């Protein structure tokens, strides 16, 4: 009677609807959706689509950036007329030149700084949606320890880096630009030293965080990966050993579930990687173009022999480089994290 009752309960359980766990990547932000490929089978193909769309979107910005550089060249050309004359009036002309150049450069630099801040925030916001999904997917694949460690590390470093950029590095960029302009107008050694120190501080801060993050990821990858692999192997052995008759079949079936979870995780990861690249690529191209064009303008200005103007333009180009470093650091952090999640259990 007891056996019959158990059999009936088990048969009843079979009639219950069941569903597999599903992981879907959060949608990319609205403004970059048009850059995302409709469907892609490989990362390289998707990346190419994103890059092509970003370049097409960015083309009008290039004209504006080139125009600004021509305007800078016009001012420096004018300043070079007075450069050969000795005397006290050189200082005042130097002051006016710096004033005009700063006005032109600061407007553009401010737009680029705002763009950088928005991009960092957008990547950070998207990562807050993507990381829990990737953590769940990796945990479903059996990488419980790896998922927790990678999530904790990425979330921590992402928060620290985003706060550092918003609250310290961006104001420091403005300080750097102000010191550069003051140095160009006055030509004081102390201002130059202070400017160099601020630049060093910003690059050192970014580099240090990335070094620590990469180190953390490498160490946790080795330790937790091994622990998870051992745990999964032990679980399979237990299932096949403890459950009589069907233990081996169940163990093999669990392998299939793990592989399926892995496929799902990689699909989410691939979408996440492309979404991060899509958020990052347009601002990177914009700031990168400004950086290169300002470098080119500085080279052309150096031919005209106006040293203070050349230095000022080079400093603004350096600031663009730091902005590139900022968005590059946040994207690098997220991309490395995604790759660690995808690699997770192999």
256 forms part of the interface with another protein (CB under 8 A): no
d(CA 301, CA 295): 10
Residues 6+ apart with CB under 8 A from 115: 283, 286, 287
- The stretches of 84-188 forming alpha helices (DSSP H) are 89-140, 144-164, 170-186
74 near another protein, rule: CB under 8 A: yes
User: With contact defined as beta carbons under 8 Å apart, do 46 and 270 qualify?
Assistant: yes
**Distance of alpha carbon 201 from its chain centroid, rounded?**
20
For residues 253 and 240, what is the distance between their CA atoms, to the nearest angstrom? 11
Integer angstrom CA distances of residue 145 from 1, 12, 342: 45, 36, 14
Binding-site member from 87, 189, 242, 256 for another protein (CB under 8 A): 87
Q: Is 104 in the site for another protein (CB under 8 A)?
A: yes
Least distance (Å) between residue 166 CB and another protein: 10
Residue 164 lies near another protein (rule: CB under 8 A):
no
Residue with tokens 């995604």: 338
Contact status: 111 vs another protein (CB under 8 A): no
Provide the 8-state DSSP code for 18. Answer: -
Q: At what angle are helices 43-83 and 89-140 packed, to 10 degrees?
A: 170
Closest to another protein by CB, 146 vs 317, is 317
171 binds another protein (CB under 8 A): yes
C-alpha–C-alpha distance, residues 17 and 139, integer Å:
24
Region of 67-75, 200-208, 246-254, 312-320 interacting with another protein (CB under 8 A): 67-75
Query: Can residue 108 be called a binding residue for another protein (CB under 8 A)?
Result: no
In this structure, what is the dihedral angle of CA atoms 125, 126, 132, 138, given to the nearest 10 degrees? -150
CB of 118 to another protein, least distance (A): 12
Work out how close the CB of 40 gets to another protein at its nearest, in angstroms, rounded to a whole number: 38
Q: Out of 21, 31, 67, 249, which residue is the one contacting another protein (CB under 8 A)?
A: 67
Which of the ranges 27-35, 87-95, 125-133, 287-295 carries the binding residues for another protein, by CB under 8 A? Answer: 87-95
Question: Does 346 engage in binding with another protein (CB under 8 A)?
Answer: no
Least distance (Å) between residue 174 CB and another protein? 7
Nearest approach, Cβ of residue 99 and another protein (Å) = 5
- Please report how many Cα atoms fall inside a 13 Å half-sphere around the Cα of residue 34, on the Cβ side: 7
Return the residue of 47, 62, 73, 129 that touches another protein, per CB under 8 A. 73
Q: Is 250 in the site for another protein (CB under 8 A)?
A: no
Q: Note whether 78 binds another protein by CB under 8 A.
A: yes
* Interface ranges with another protein (CB under 8 A): 67-75, 77-79, 81-82, 85-93, 95-97, 99-100, 102-104, 106-107, 110, 114, 170-171, 174
């Amino acid at each position: 009677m007891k056996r019959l009752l158990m059999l009936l309960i088990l048969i009843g359980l079979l009639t219950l609807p069941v569903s597999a766990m599903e992981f879907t990547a959060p949608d990319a932000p609205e403004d970059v959706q048009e850059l995302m490929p409709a469907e892609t089978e490989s990362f390289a193909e998707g990346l190419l689509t994103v890059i092509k769309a970003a370049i097409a979107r960015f083309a009008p910005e290039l004209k504006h950036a080139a125009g600004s550089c021509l305007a800078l060249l016009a001012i420096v050309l004018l300043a070079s007329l007075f450069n050969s004359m000795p005397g006290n009036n050189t200082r005042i002309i130097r002051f006016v030149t710096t004033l005009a150049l700063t006005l032109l450069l600061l407007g553009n630099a401010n737009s680029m700084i705002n763009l950088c801040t928005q991009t960092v925030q957008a990547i950070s916001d998207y990562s807050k949606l993507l990381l829990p999904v990737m953590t769940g997917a990796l945990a479903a694949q059996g990488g419980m320890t790896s998922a927790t460690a990678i999530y904790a590390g990425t979330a921590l470093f992402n928060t620290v880096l985003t706060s550092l950029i918003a609250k310290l590095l961006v104001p420091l960029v403005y300080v750097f630009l102000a010191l550069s302009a003051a140095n160009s107008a006055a030509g004081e050694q102390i201002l130059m030293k202070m400017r160099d120190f601020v630049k060093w501080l910003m690059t050192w801060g970014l580099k240090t965080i990335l070094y620590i993050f990469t180190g953390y990821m490498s160490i946790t990858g080795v330790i937790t990966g091994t622990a998870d692999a051992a745990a999964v192997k032990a679980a399979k052995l237990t299932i096949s050993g403890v459950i009589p008759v069907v233990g081996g079949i169940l163990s093999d079936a669990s392998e299939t579930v793990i592989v399926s979870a892995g496929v799902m995780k990689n699909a989410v990861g691939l979408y996440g990687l492309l979404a991060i690249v899509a958020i990052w690529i347009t601002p990177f191209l914009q700031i990168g173009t400004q950086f290169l064009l300002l470098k080119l303008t500085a080279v052309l200005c150096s031919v005209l022999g106006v040293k203070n103007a050349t230095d000022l333009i080079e400093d603004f180009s350096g600031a663009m480089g730091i902005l590139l470093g900022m968005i590059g650091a946040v994207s690098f952090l997220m991309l490395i994290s995604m790759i660690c999640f995808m690699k997770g259990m192999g």
